[in-house]
Structures are given as C-alpha cells and as structure tokens.
C-alpha cells in the first residue's frame, strides 16, 4: 500500500498556540480515516495542514510524495478539500463553479457535469450559488471536490447541513473510495455514521493523536 500522508511530530501553530502539538500519522492509499475528537482538538487544523493551507512549524509532513516543509503547494492539484465554506463564487452557476474547479485541476468538463449529477444537483446546474439553499451549497462543495478527480479527499464536517438524501450520496462516495483508489480523511462528529464507513479512526485531543483503531478494523 502506498503511503499518501505521513506525519512525524508535526507541529502547527496558530499564532503562538500549538493547534497541532506533535502529530504522528500514516495514511495509506484507499483508506477512509475518521478524525474524531472534541471541539478544538485539532481536526480542522490537521486537515488544513495536510492541504497546505497552513505551514508546518516543526516535524515532518509528506503528502502525496511532496515534502510540505519544502513546498506546500505542489501537491494541491491532486487533492480536494471540503471545508466549512464552499469555495464557490456567488455570481456563477453551480455548473460554472464546478467546471472552473475541474479545469483548474486539469480535469475534463465531463467530470464536472458527472460530479453535479453524482451529488444530485443536475437539475440546479444553471442556478447561481447565491440562489442555492444551504444544503444545496454543501452538495455543490462536494461536487466541486469530486470534479477535481482527486487522489486525496479532505472532508471537514461534510454531513453538516446535508439532508437525508445528501448524506446517503456522501456515504456512497465514501464507501466507493477504495475501489476508486481515493484516500479520504474525514473530520466528523457523526461518529456512529462514520464508524460504519471508515476503515480506521484516529482520535485527536489537544492537538495530538491520543488513540487510533487498528488498520481496517472497521472496514
């Protein structure tokens, strides 16, 4: 199994506060890793560090074969991040937002249209982001991520704001990850739902990994 994420004693500071205080983590290709822990445990910071949105202050971090201490932008084309915001433009339609993300990542326009259909937004393709409901915007954020055809998918509370159909779509995507050679890290408080899907759980507390389930224990 190829290692997609490898962290050793990774420290990330937010101002002077060590939001990550020496994290060790290995994630292999095809894994769906659930990041659990209370508010302020460091889940979002860990995802943003792996995405290269935050700098590594100490330790080692290698993602998709790139050393983040040297270059935290080179791996971004191969990953997709769904955070608390949609990263979309209000004045563009759902289709235009997804196509922009797909073209930027070097993916085909067909991938963008397929991603919209996959999250059940095909009928809203021409509706602007501004006019979508909150739940539809969350689906659109997922479509933007899928359209990039990433090797690594980082999801921060992806179930928040999704209706029952949206959650079912997301669960199906996560279950299909292994067969699609997609590696997923999910920070979530939906523990029961995610434990049935994830191949492994990593519990964070105070910016450190304090427990991890054995590999594939929950597959």
Partner 1 sequence: MRGLSRFGARVNLAQEASIVAGKDLRIEARSRVTVQQVLPFGLIVLLLFAFALDPDRGVLRGVAPGLFWVTVLLAALLAISRSFAIESANGARDGLRLSGLDPAAIFLGKAAAIAVELMALEALLTVGVIVLFDVSLGSIGPLILATVLATIGVAATGTLYGVLAASSGARETLVPVLLLPVVSPVLLGATRAWEAAIDGTPSDAWPWIGVLAVFAVLYTSIGTLAFGPLLEEA
Query: For residue 170, what are the β-bridge partners?
Result: none
7, 46, 61, 105: residue in contact with partner 1 (rule CB under 8 A)? 105
Q: Is residue 111 near partner 1 by the rule CB under 8 A? A: no
Q: Is residue 218 near partner 1 by the rule CB under 8 A? A: no
In the complex, minimum distance from the CB of residue 63 to partner 1, in angstroms, rounded to a whole number:
13
8, 9, 17, 104: residue in contact with partner 1 (rule CB under 8 A)? 104
1, 9, 17, 106: residue in contact with partner 1 (rule CB under 8 A)? 106
Query: Taking the C-alpha atoms of 96, 100, 103 and 107 in order, what is their torsion angle to the nearest 10 degrees?
Result: -70
Radius of gyration, CA atoms only, the chain:
17
> Cβ neighbours of residue 120 under 8 Å, at least 6 residues apart?
139, 165, 166, 169
Measured from the CB atom, the residue of 150 and 194 that comes closer to partner 1 is 150
> How many chain residues bind partner 1 (CB under 8 A)?
31
Nearest to 27 by CA among 183, 197, 209: 183
**Cβ atoms of 91 and 51 closer than 8 Å:** no
Residue 187, helix vs strand vs coil: strand
**Cβ atoms of 12 and 19 closer than 8 Å:** yes
Q: Is residue 134 near partner 1 by the rule CB under 8 A? A: no
Residues 21-40 that bind partner 1 (CB under 8 A): none
Residues 52-71 that bind partner 1 (CB under 8 A): 52-53
Residue with tokens 């050793």: 8
- Which spans of this chain sit near partner 1 (rule: CB under 8 A)? 51-53, 73, 76-81, 83-92, 96, 100-101, 103-106, 128-129, 144, 148
């Amino acid at each position: 199994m190829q290692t997609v994420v490898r962290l050793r004693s990774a420290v990330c500071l937010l101002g002077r506060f060590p939001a990550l205080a020496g994290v060790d983590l290995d994630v292999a290709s095809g894994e769906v890793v659930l990041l659990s822990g209370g508010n302020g445990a460091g889940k979002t910071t860990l995802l943003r560090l792996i995405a290269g949105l935050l700098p590594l202050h100490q330790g080692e971090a290698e993602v998709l074969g790139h050393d983040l201490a040297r270059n935290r932008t080179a791996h971004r084309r191969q990953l997709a991040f769904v955070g608390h915001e949609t990263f979309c433009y209000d004045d563009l339609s759902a289709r235009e937002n997804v196509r922009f993300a797909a073209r930027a990542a070097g993916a085909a326009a067909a991938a963008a249209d397929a991603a919209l259909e996959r999250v059940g937004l095909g009928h809203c393709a021409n509706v602007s982001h501004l006019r979508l409901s909150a739940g539809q915007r969350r689906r659109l954020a997922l479509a933007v991520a899928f359209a990039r055809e990433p090797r690594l998918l980082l999801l921060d509370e992806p179930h928040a704001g999704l209706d029952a159909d949206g959650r079912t779509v997301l669960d199906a995507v996560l279950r299909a990850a292994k067969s699609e050679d997609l590696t997923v890290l999910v920070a979530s408080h939906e523990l029961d739902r995610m434990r049935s899907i994830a191949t492994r759980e990593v519990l964070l507390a105070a910016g450190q990994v304090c427990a991890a389930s054995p590999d594939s224990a929950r597959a």
